[in-house]
Amino acid sequence: MATVLTLLAEGFEEIEAIVPIDLLRRAGVDVTTAALVAGGPVTGRSGIAVHADTDLATVMGRTFDCLFLPGGAGVKHLRADPRVRTLVRQQADAGRWLAAICAAPTVLHDAGLLAGRRYTAHFSVAHELPHLLAAERVVTDGRLVTSRGAGTAQDFGLDLVTKLVSAEKAAEVARAICA
């Protein structure tokens, strides 16, 4: 069974986190949500509080098949936490999947992982990521998967199911949700 670690920071974009998590879990993927800070729910940009499975300190040093970074205003907290950059680099060094949506590709940029790569992101970070492929909904380059934003979360989640499980399972999940 594939494993995914999803990092949740205060202000995360709910659609960008919950839709891919839901689709991955429907496909049988073991998704662990980790809050940057221990001790309570993590509140998204629209005020929806989510209880993470664990916290970042607990999962440090572990590798997962995929590290998933949702976007939204919470990206500023991901970028400010040196543990996140360490975890991103560990995943990359281990040849594991990295997935980021909306503004979260800036975290990968900060870790030095976007140079010479194909990627997309939300238009609000185009000034930091001038080579983003703005017209693409989901972009894969090697073991890096990026997506534009809340409106592409379903495509992104199904693409992750394809990569971590199979195209057949992604089609089955898509049919089940009438996608």
Condensed to tens digits (0 to 9), the pLDDT of residues 24-59 reads: 999 999 999 999 999 889 999 999 999 999 999 999
Confidence (pTM): 0.97
- List of residues 6+ apart from 61 with CB closer than 8 A: 90
Share of the chain above pLDDT 70, in %: 100
Which tokens sit at 159? 């693409």
Task: Give residue 110's pLDDT band: very low, low, confident or very high (50, 70, 90).
Answer: very high
Write down the pLDDT at residue 39: 87
Q: Where do the H-state alpha helices sit in the chain? A: 14-26, 56-59, 75-80, 82-93, 105-110, 153-164, 167-176
- CA gap 50, 179 in Å, rounded: 25
Task: Give residue 162's pLDDT band: very low, low, confident or very high (50, 70, 90).
Answer: very high
- List of residues 6+ apart from 96 with CB closer than 8 A: 63, 64, 65, 66, 67, 143
Contact status, residue 146 vs residue 121, Cβ threshold 8 Å: yes
Q: Give the distance from CA 173 to its chain's centroid.
A: 19
Mean of per-residue pLDDT scores for the chain: 97
Q: Where do the domains of the chain lie, and which CATH numbers do they carry?
A: 3-176 (3.40.50.880)
Q: Where do the H-state alpha helices sit in 43-147? A: 56-59, 75-80, 82-93, 105-110
When pLDDT is averaged across residues 102-122 and rounded to a whole number, the result is: 98
Question: Is-catalytic flag, 178?
Answer: no
Catalytic residue among 75, 88, 100, 102: 102
Write down the pLDDT at residue 40: 86
